């Protein structure tokens, strides 16, 4: 009995290194899988692009409004008020002097942004569930050929990360551009001179990272379910 | 078959039962199967659909877990294996051929054949060389760069056979390998399997209800109602199925 367990342990150490999936290979397979299902990937990604660009748009718009407000130009402040901001210093802030003209996102705006992100996650989970379900047979086959659960998870996570990365960067760029354009038409050319480049880049970065996280969050549940299935179950599911 | 007692038993199935839940009902599909399979033979598991032969086949392949009982492959109880060992077993010891071919749709024939080698840690150059050799063996070396959708059913099944051989397995499990093929391509696959069992001494275990398979089998296991009905060797077989198999015996 003791012999037997030590034999098993020995064998385990031997076999542990015998089933492998090189990272570059996973990246290659994930990339080609996206390329081959381009249309579907685009559709999955579009909801992400929209949500991220909306997030980025609101952030960048308020960045710009902030920098305009700090100019303390009466004409601009009138326009800002017309646009729904409240640049007039309130009594509490007057005493502190610092950040006098700071414009905070209104609660309503935050509410809308978080709602749009929530809708986006639901959309992604749905799209990924479909995408994973239609590949159950492929997953089962790979497991028959010796793939470990985490090969499968890694493959789908990489795909989600690539889609998410592409979608989120497109979203961040669209959102920022759109914010710049609307601000330009609303407040005139002053926008260009006072452009808070650093803040805008920071907002874009935040929106990008949020997008990537959302994309990963959307795929993680369906793929773990799929990877844990016995190969036979996975192959039977689709029939 | 007294002379076979000394040969190694590559697969041993001991008192295996399997229950499936059908809604609230629990259906016993396998009712205690005992089976020894000798290395290097060509075994056909025959039985009407619903007899449990596919379920038994999945148990032997480590693709599903028995409700009770044990399956030994090379005298190792596969229920005792952890995920890594099971993956290793599926990767190195067993080659699978399915009724529905199950090639990865996005990969070319060569990539499909080399995938198990990638899992086994073979570097790409060696894997590609070996993959081409295997494709040549099944007569598809000119189509190595074709996707499964660009191949006929018979060609896909031959790619699947080459893939099953990728890591020199001791056992090839074929679940209805001719089920989706016409008569002629089915025969091609059967003779390919027979050639493998004879030349490479690979144990072939095939679940089927294709009577063409009987002619090439060393042993036929008949399953009925989740139990082994009878086990026939080839010589006994030609008596019980005389007219069918005489023509093709050699």
* Model pLDDT for residues B92-141, shown as the tens digit of each residue: 999 999 989 999 998 999 999 999 999 998 989 999 999 999 999 999 99
Domains along the sequence of chain B with CATH:
41-50+83-246 (3.40.50.300)
Give the pair of three-digit tokens for residue B6.
């000394």
Q: Is the ipTM of this complex over 0.90?
A: no
Please name the residue of chain A whose CA is at the shortest distance from the CA of residue B61: A144
pLDDT value of residue B68: 93
Pairwise CA distance, residues A53 & A204, whole Å = 9
Would you state the structure tokens that stand for residue A95, as one six-digit string?
A: 């005493």
Cβ within 8 Å, pair B88-A21? no
Question: With left for phi above 0 and alpha for psi between -120 and 50, is residue B32 left, alpha or beta?
Answer: left
Q: CB of B185 within 8 A of CB of B154?
A: yes
Q: Which of residues 35-74 of A touch B (CB under 8 A)?
A: 36
Average pLDDT in the A23-52 region? Answer: 88
Query: Given phi > 0 = left and psi -120 to 50 = alpha, else beta, which region is A229?
Result: beta
pLDDT means over runs of 10, chain B (250 residues): 60 92 87 91 88 87 89 90 89 91 92 94 92 94 94 93 93 90 88 88 88 86 89 74 47
**Identity of the residue in B91, B98, B106 whose CB atom sits nearest the CB atom of A146:** B91
List the single residue in B96, B105, B120 with the smallest CB-CB distance to A18. B120
Range B121-125, long-range pairs (CB < 8 A, 24+ positions): B121/A17, B121/A18, B121/A19, B121/A20
pLDDT digits (tens, 9 = 90+) for A121-155: 888 888 888 888 888 889 999 999 999 999 999 99
Residues 13-42 of A with CB under 8 A from B: 15-22, 25, 29, 32-33, 36
The shortest C-alpha distance from B89 to chain A (Å) reads 7
pLDDT in tens, A12-32: 555 454 688 888 889 988 998
For residues A214, A216, A217, A218, the Cα torsion angle rounded to the nearest 10 degrees is 90
Neighbouring C-alpha atoms within 13 Å toward the C-beta of A37: 23
What digits encode the pLDDT tens for the residues A193-236? 888 899 999 999 999 999 999 889 888 888 888 888 888 877 77
- Is A11 in Cβ contact with B84 (below 8 Å)? no
Whether residue A99 has pLDDT greater than 50? no
Lookup: tokens for A100 = 């006098």
Taking 60 as the threshold, does the pLDDT of residue A93 lie above it?
no
The pLDDT value recorded for residue A100 is 47
> Does A137 contact B102 at a Cβ distance shorter than 8 Å?
yes
Q: What is the mean pLDDT of chain A?
A: 81
């Amino acid at each position: 009995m003791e012999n037997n367990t030590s034999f098993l342990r020995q064998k385990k150490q031997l076999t542990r290194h015998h089933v492998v999936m090189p990272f570059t290979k996973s990246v290659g397979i994930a990339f080609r899988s996206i390329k081959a299902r381009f249309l579907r990937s685009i559709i999955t990604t579009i909801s992400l692009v929209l949500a991220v660009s909306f997030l980025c748009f609101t952030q960048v718009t308020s960045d710009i409004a902030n920098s305009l407000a700090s100019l303390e130009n009466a004409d601009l402040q009138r326009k800002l008020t017309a646009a729904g901001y409240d640049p007039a210093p309130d009594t509490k802030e007057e005493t502190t002097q610092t950040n006098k003209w700071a414009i905070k996102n209104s609660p309503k705006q935050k509410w809308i942004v978080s709602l749009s992100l929530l809708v986006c996650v639901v959309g992604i989970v749905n799209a990924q569930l479909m995408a994973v379900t239609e590949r159950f047979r492929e997953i089962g086959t790979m497991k028959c050929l010796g793939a470990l659960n985490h090969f499968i998870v890694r493959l789908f996570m990489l795909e989600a990360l690539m889609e998410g990365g592409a979608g989120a960067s497109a979203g961040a760029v669209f959102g920022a551009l759109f914010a710049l354009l609307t601000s330009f038409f609303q407040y005139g050319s002053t926008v260009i001179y006072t452009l808070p480049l650093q803040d805008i880049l920071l907002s874009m970065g935040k929106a990008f990272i949020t997008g990537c996280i959302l994309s990963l969050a959307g795929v993680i549940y369906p793929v773990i379910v799929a990877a844990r299935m016995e190969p036979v179950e996975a192959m039977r599911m689709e029939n | 078959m007294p002379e076979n007692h000394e040969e190694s038993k590559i697969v041993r199935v001991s008192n295996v039962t399997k229950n499936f839940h059908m809604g609230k009902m629990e259906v016993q599909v396998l009712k205690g199967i005992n089976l020894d399979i000798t290395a290097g033979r060509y075994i056909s598991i025959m039985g009407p659909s619903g007899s449990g032969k596919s379920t038994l086949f999945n148990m032997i392949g480590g693709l599903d877990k028995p409700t009770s009982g044990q399956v030994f492959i090379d005298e190792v109880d596969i229920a005792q294996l952890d995920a890594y060992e099971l993956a290793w077993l599926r990767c190195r010891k067993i080659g699978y051929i399915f009724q529905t071919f199950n090639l990865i749709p996005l990969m070319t024939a060569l990539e499909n054949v080399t995938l198990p080698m990638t899992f086994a840690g073979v570097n790409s150059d060696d894997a590609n060389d070996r993959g081409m050799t295997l494709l040549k063996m099944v007569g598809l070396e000119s189509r190595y760069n074709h996707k499964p959708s660009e191949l006929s059913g018979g060609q896909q099944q031959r790619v699947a056979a080459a893939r099953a051989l990728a890591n020199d397995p001791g056992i090839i499990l074929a679940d209805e390998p001719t089920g989706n093929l016409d008569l002629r391509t089915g025969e091609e696959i059967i003779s390919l399997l027979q050639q493998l069992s004879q030349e490479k001494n690979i144990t072939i275990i095939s679940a089927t209800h294709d009577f063409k398979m009987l002619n090439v089998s060393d042993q036929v296991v008949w399953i009925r109602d989740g139990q082994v009905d009878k086990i026939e060797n080839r010589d006994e077989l030609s008596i019980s199925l005389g007219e069918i198999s005489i023509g093709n015996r050699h």
